[in-house]
Amino acid sequence: MPSELTKSVRSAIHAFVSSKASDGEALPADVLRLIRDEASLLLERQIICDTLDADPYKLCEDDADVRRQFGRLQGLMNVVSCTRTNTMDGNVTIHCVVELSRDNEMNANIKENVRLEFAYDRSPIRYMDSKDKHAPSDADNDNDNDDGNTVHDCDTSMITSGPGDDVHRGTRIIYYVDFSIDHGPKERLITIEVMASGEAPSSEQAIPMEDDGGDDGEDVWEDFDEDGEPLSKAEADDVVENMDEDEASRKTGGKDGKDRYAAYVDPEELHKFLSCTGLVFDEATSIYFLMMFPYFEFEWDLLGFLLDAVFGHQSGDDSSRSDGDGDGDGDEEKKSSGTDAKDDFSDDDL
């Protein structure tokens, strides 16, 4: 039995569709399709506003100005697009664009808006335990190859799985937060990558990728080019597609069951974003704010990984890690003194 609210909504929609169709302005199916799409975007906006009001990380608890700025943002906010895809083979993608319309508190050089773009991708990867690789036997080492080289001299580091190998299913996660000014080029604010040893978060303590490299640090995160610039999503996806199972095993940790992660915040672009929007947040508040947008899977504790990457080496312990439940417990973090970056923003920065 439909509720009274459901009946009221259906009646209002029916009346609206009939009024638009009766005068030939639009086909009923087109009107209903538009209602569906707009209602979906309005729902996303409401979820963001509800999250800001709930203040899960207690940013407004001792700072009334942060609460005021959250209220200001809600008045400027509009969700332009949002898609979520979940396939049966374990691929999940979330993409959302949030627009902040210009107001008097934004930098004078902003003509129309500032946009935030959130992109999350979770995909399965295959890897095999190092003990399961096809390694040459002692008998093989005594034999020569056709070219005169012994089997012992051959490079076996890139050997992939064959019949009978114990191939495991891991997970790779990539999360980006970008921003753009007046429909201009996107600038990267946050990048997070996770290489998990299983299909769900490990119960073991995750390890930063930079702490898990080889002697020459060759295992450092590959989503940056040789100049230190972040790869585009297409380039990063190409890295995954060309990663063999042995390399995936090394990056996921294989049998130790520990997930690996790498995370990065661009301080210059973060400062520029605050300057454009007129927000007066310190670094920690800025990170918490950007990670409040619900466009990733929270069970993977991406916020905790990001806090560890940004602040962990300074604190020297795990006390700053997020507990991932969004209730503020375990989410304490050092805050630097906030400064008004708006006045530091010049025409040359656009």
**Average per-residue pLDDT for the chain:** 76
- Tokens representing 97 are 């664009």
Average pLDDT over residues 30-50: 96
Domain assignment of residue 47, yes or no: yes
pLDDT band at 57 (very low <50, low <70, confident <90, very high): very high
127, 168 Cβ separation under 8 angstroms: yes
Average pLDDT over residues 233-255: 53
pLDDT the model gives residue 251: 53
Domain assignment of residue 150, yes or no: no
286 Cβ contact partners less than 8 Å away, ≥ 6 residues apart: 270, 273, 274, 279
Number of domains within the chain: 1
Of 349 and 90, the structure prediction assigns the larger pLDDT to 90
Domain assignment of residue 60, yes or no: yes
Q: Which domain holds residue 102?
A: 36-129+166-349
What are 196's strand-pairing partners? 171
The SS3 of residue 127 is strand
Q: What are the phi and psi torsion angles at 40 (to 5°)?
A: -65, -45
Average pLDDT over residues 153-163: 36
Average pLDDT over residues 137-153: 44
Of 156 and 95, the structure prediction assigns the larger pLDDT to 95
How far is the C-alpha of 38 from the C-alpha of 40, rounded, in Å?
5
| Helix (H), strand (E) at residue 71 | helix 64-76
The SS3 of residue 60 is coil
pLDDT band at 15 (very low <50, low <70, confident <90, very high): very high
Say whether pLDDT at 332 is over 60. Answer: no
Of 259 and 332, the structure prediction assigns the larger pLDDT to 259
Residue from 331, 196, 189, 204 nearest 269 by CA: 189
312, 264 Cβ separation under 8 angstroms: no
Of 300 and 134, the structure prediction assigns the larger pLDDT to 300
Residue 137: other Cβ atoms inside 10 A? 10
Q: What are the phi and psi torsion angles at 173 (to 5°)?
A: -125, 135
User: pTM for this one?
Assistant: 0.71
Domain assignment of residue 295, yes or no: yes
pLDDT band at 64 (very low <50, low <70, confident <90, very high): very high
195, 189 Cβ separation under 8 angstroms: no
pLDDT the model gives residue 268: 95
pLDDT the model gives residue 73: 95
Phi-psi region of 176 (alpha: psi -120 to 50; beta: other; left: phi over 0): beta
% pLDDT > 90, the chain: 52
Q: What string of DSSP letters covers 76-99?
A: HEEEEEEEEEE-TTS-EEEEEEEE
pLDDT the model gives residue 255: 56
Which residue type does 225 have? Answer: D
Q: What are the phi and psi torsion angles at 314 (to 5°)?
A: -80, -40
Domain assignment of residue 53, yes or no: yes
Say whether pLDDT at 338 is over 90. Answer: no
| Residue that has been written with the tokens 């210059």 in this structure | 268
Domain assignment of residue 257, yes or no: yes
pLDDT the model gives residue 237: 55
Angle at 161 between CA 155 and CA 164, to 5 degrees: 130
pLDDT the model gives residue 24: 78
| Helix (H), strand (E) at residue 190 | strand 187-196
Domain assignment of residue 21, yes or no: no
96, 44 Cβ separation under 8 angstroms: yes
Query: Of the ranges 66-75, 141-150, 256-265, which one carries the lowest mean pLDDT score?
Result: 141-150
pLDDT the model gives residue 49: 96
Domain assignment of residue 141, yes or no: no
Residue from 253, 331, 337 nearest 55 by CA: 331
- Tokens representing 118 are 């959130």
Of 123 and 244, the structure prediction assigns the larger pLDDT to 123
How far is the C-alpha of 178 from the C-alpha of 264, rounded, in Å?
12
| Residue that has been written with the tokens 């799409």 in this structure | 37
pLDDT single digits (tens) 169-181: 899 999 999 999 9
Say whether pLDDT at 345 is over 60. Answer: no
Of 70 and 197, the structure prediction assigns the larger pLDDT to 70
CA atoms within 13 A on the CB side of 42: 6
pLDDT the model gives residue 127: 72
Average pLDDT over residues 136-143: 45
pLDDT single digits (tens) 104-126: 999 999 999 999 999 999 999 88
